[in-house]
């Protein structure tokens, strides 16, 4: 199937299979693709999200091509849990990045994957880069960071090189134009074989797609959502957690974390602080009590997912102590090479 035929199939709703997308990506990788067709295909896939089978076929085709340093899965599973969301929904402070750092500081090995923000400077990689936390340079480097620091950021090596090829051909059309598609596929594209993964989603319409996409990765994936449309677990409302076996668990407001406050308390304060400053403040317990409670709740989920803790309450208490005694900030200073935080952190108000 030519790129033009693929575009027509997507426009008329026929869909496409993995082989058709492989041919399309192979053409793009050799720079023989027609730019107008590439932009058309990406636009068709983003304007109306394709059916789950087509989305899985595209993701599988993207994952087929190894990264520049070879097979990211060489050496077997990475002994860590991952956390990444789909984005979208109400704007909040960077909860999952802070939760990943907090969990790592209390003994849960974590790999943080994600992207740069399409609409602002608030993406996970934006915040971590401004904090001075480096991304891994290779699969071996990622494993070494997990082993020595308990925390690693999945660098570009972990992602399909075909994505870069497509972006180059589509330029100057910005990547954010295709965010509706990339946000859904993104959590399942990093070639890092984890022990398990926590993925939040903001749009209920994406649930069926995500259930299908998680079967592509070789590790268990928890999917979480809530009625407030934020792609993390929230302390301010009930949350739904879909286990790998399909079992649905409700984490009720107040069941684990203090349920005080509102989801509006998780918005970035309008005082000029950027995403990096806010991550540090989250780890210090210096924002609204609901923000501290929410970060601790997500860190607790990672602790339970990793088997570090056997109960949610145990994980929550461990995370809360990591904020109160400055453990989380100390890890951040170690990762960035900054002098150790003097005097520990401000007591958490969770």
Taking only the tens place, the pLDDT of each residue in 205-256 is 999 999 999 999 999 999 999 999 999 999 999 999 999 999 999 999 999 9
- The answer, yes or no, to whether residue 346 has pLDDT greater than 50, is no
Instruction: List the alpha helices (DSSP H) in 106-193.
Output: 124-131, 139-149, 161-170, 179-185
- CATH classification (class only), 78-154+190-336: alpha beta
pLDDT score at 347: 38
Could you identify the residue written with the tokens 């090479």?
A: 337
Q: Which residues contact 284 (CB under 8 A, 6 or more apart)?
A: 323, 326, 328, 329, 345, 346
- The answer, yes or no, to whether residue 338 has pLDDT greater than 80, is no
| Residues 173-193 pLDDT 10s | 998 899 999 999 999 999 999
Q: Which residues contact 103 (CB under 8 A, 6 or more apart)?
A: 81, 110, 298, 299, 302, 303, 306, 319
Q: Give the DSSP H/E element, type plus range, for residue 240.
A: strand 239-242
Mean pLDDT of 274-299: 96
User: Which carries the bigger pLDDT value, residue 34 or residue 285?
Assistant: 285
- The answer, yes or no, to whether residue 82 has pLDDT greater than 80, is yes
The residue ranges of every structural domain in the chain are 1-64+160-176, 78-154+190-336
DSSP string, 186-207: GGGT----EEEEEEE-S-GGGH
Q: Please give the model's pTM, rounded to 2 decimal places.
A: 0.92
- The answer, yes or no, to whether residue 75 has pLDDT greater than 90, is no
Give the 3-state secondary structure percentages of the chain, helix then strand then coil, rounded to 5. Answer: 50, 10, 40
The fold adopted by the segment(s) 1-64+160-176 is: 1.20.970
């Amino acid at each position: 199937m030519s790129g033009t035929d693929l575009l027509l199939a997507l426009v008329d709703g026929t869909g496409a299979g993995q082989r058709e997308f492989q041919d399309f990506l192979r053409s793009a990788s050799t720079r023989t693709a027609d730019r107008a067709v590439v932009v058309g295909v990406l636009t068709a896939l983003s304007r109306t999200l394709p059916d789950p089978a087509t989305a899985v076929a595209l993701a599988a085709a993207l994952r087929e091509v190894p990264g520049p340093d070879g097979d990211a899965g060489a050496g077997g599973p990475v002994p860590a849990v991952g956390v990444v969301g789909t984005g979208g929904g109400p704007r909040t402070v960077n909860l999952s990045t802070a939760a990943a750092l907090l969990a790592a500081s209390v003994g849960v090995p974590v790999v943080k994957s994600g992207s740069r923000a399409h609409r602002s400077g608030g993406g996970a990689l934006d915040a971590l880069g401004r904090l001075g936390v480096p991304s891994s340079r290779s699969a071996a480097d990622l494993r070494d960071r997990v082993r020595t620091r308990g925390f690693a950021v999945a660098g570009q090596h972990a992602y399909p090189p075909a994505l870069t090829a497509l972006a180059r051909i589509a330029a100057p059309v910005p990547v954010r134009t295709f965010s509706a598609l990339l946000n859904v596929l993104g959590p399942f594209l990093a070639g890092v074989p984890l022990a398990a993964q926590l993925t939040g989603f903001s749009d209920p319409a994406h649930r069926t797609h995500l259930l299908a996409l998680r079967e592509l990765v070789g590790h268990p994936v928890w999917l979480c959502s809530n009625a407030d449309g934020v792609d993390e677990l929230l302390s301010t409302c009930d949350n739904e957690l879909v286990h790998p076996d399909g079992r649905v668990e409700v984490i009720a407001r107040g069941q684990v974390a203090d349920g005080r406050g509102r989801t509006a308390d998780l918005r970035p304060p309008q005082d000029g602080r950027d995403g990096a400053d806010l991550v540090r403040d989250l780890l210090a317990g210096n924002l609204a009590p609901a923000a501290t409670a929410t970060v601790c709740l997500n860190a607790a989920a990672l602790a339970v997912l990793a088997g570090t803790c056997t109960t949610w309450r145990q994980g929550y208490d461990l995370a809360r102590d990591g904020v109160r005694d400055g453990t989380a900030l100390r890890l951040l200073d170690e990762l960035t090479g900054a002098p150790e935080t003097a005097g520990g952190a401000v007591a958490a108000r969770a």
